């Protein structure tokens, strides 16, 4: 299983003190079938705790996934700033899922090399 985040999500997570371990915990919950919201076509919404608080008052992340294979963190927002996604945003994420989940390994490597995506690692080790 490989876990990635977009360049945008990397900035979002850094700004909000969301570390890679927190992201991997969200992936682990989804692997166990504990998905906060299934938006369809490989798009899920998972909660990530705010440091020192629980998940319910924390952040909402949008993950594009192919269970057991690849996870892409593509968007996030604080719960206190926004209730939910608009319908058109959900549709955009479903379209994005079609693209991301169809990437060949060579294409994904190119995107990583360009810096468009980062692989989520702990202590410089791939998960």
Residues 6+ apart with CB under 8 A from 19: 13
- Give the CA distances from residue 28 to residues 15, 17, 100, 116, in Å, rounded to whole numbers and listed in that order: 23, 19, 20, 24
Hunting for tokens 């058109």 — which residue is that? 88
Report how many domains make up the chain: 1
pLDDT score, position 126: 47
Structural domain including 88 reads 2-126
pLDDT tens for each residue of 5-42: 999 999 999 999 999 999 999 999 999 999 999 999 99
Beta bridge partners of 72: 4, 64
24-46 as b/e: b if 16+ CB within 10 A: bebbebbeeeebbeebeebbbbb
H-helix or E-strand spanning residue 72: strand 70-78
pTM of the predicted model as reported, rounded to 2 decimal places: 0.92
């Amino acid at each position: 299983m490989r876990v990635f985040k977009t360049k945008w999500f990397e900035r979002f997570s850094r700004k909000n003190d969301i570390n890679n371990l927190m992201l991997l915990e969200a992936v682990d919950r989804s692997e166990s079938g504990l998905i906060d919201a299934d938006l369809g076509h490989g798009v899920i919404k998972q909660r990530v705790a705010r440091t020192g608080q629980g998940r319910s008052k924390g952040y909402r992340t949008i993950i594009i996934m192919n269970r057991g294979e690849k996870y892409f963190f593509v968007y996030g927002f604080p719960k206190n700033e926004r209730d939910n996604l608009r319908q058109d945003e959900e549709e955009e994420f479903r379209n994005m899922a079609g693209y991301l989940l169809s990437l060949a390994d060579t294409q994904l490597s190119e995107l990583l090399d360009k810096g468009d995506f980062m692989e989520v690692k702990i202590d410089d080790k791939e998960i």
